[in-house]
Structure 1
Amino acid sequence: GREAFVYACNNCKANIEIHYHCTVCEDFDLCTSCYEKLNHEHKMEKRSMDLD
C-alpha cells in the first residue's frame, strides 16, 4: 500500500511525508528544514503523500 513507501531527505536522511522534489535531478528530495537551509541549484516543487 501507499503507507509502505517513505521518502527520505537526501541531505539529513530523515523520513519525510511533506518534501521538496527537484524538477531536474533524478530522485532528489529535501525535507522542509533542509529546503529552507540549502540553496539547491534547480527548481523544487513542494509535495506530500496526499499530492503524489
Structure 2
Amino acid sequence: MAALCHVDLFQHVGAQAIKNPGGYFRAYIRMIAERRVDLVEEIAAMKRRRSH
C-alpha cells in the first residue's frame, strides 16, 4: 500500500490518483478476502521488481 502511494506520488506529479489511501487499503483488503487478488503472488511480484 505504501509503495503504491509512493509510486503514485511520483507518477502523477500535481494530481494523485489515490485520493484516499485508507479507503484504497480497505478496498484492497476486501479484494484479498474475496480472493480476487492473490496476496502471495502480489508479494512475489514486488520482490521481483525490487531485485532488479
User: What is the TM-score with the length of structure 2 in the denominator?
Assistant: 0.23
Structure showing greater relative contact order (alpha-carbon pairs closer than 8 Å, 6 or more residues apart): 1
User: What is the TM-score with the length of structure 1 in the denominator?
Assistant: 0.23
Q: Which has the larger radius of gyration?
A: 2
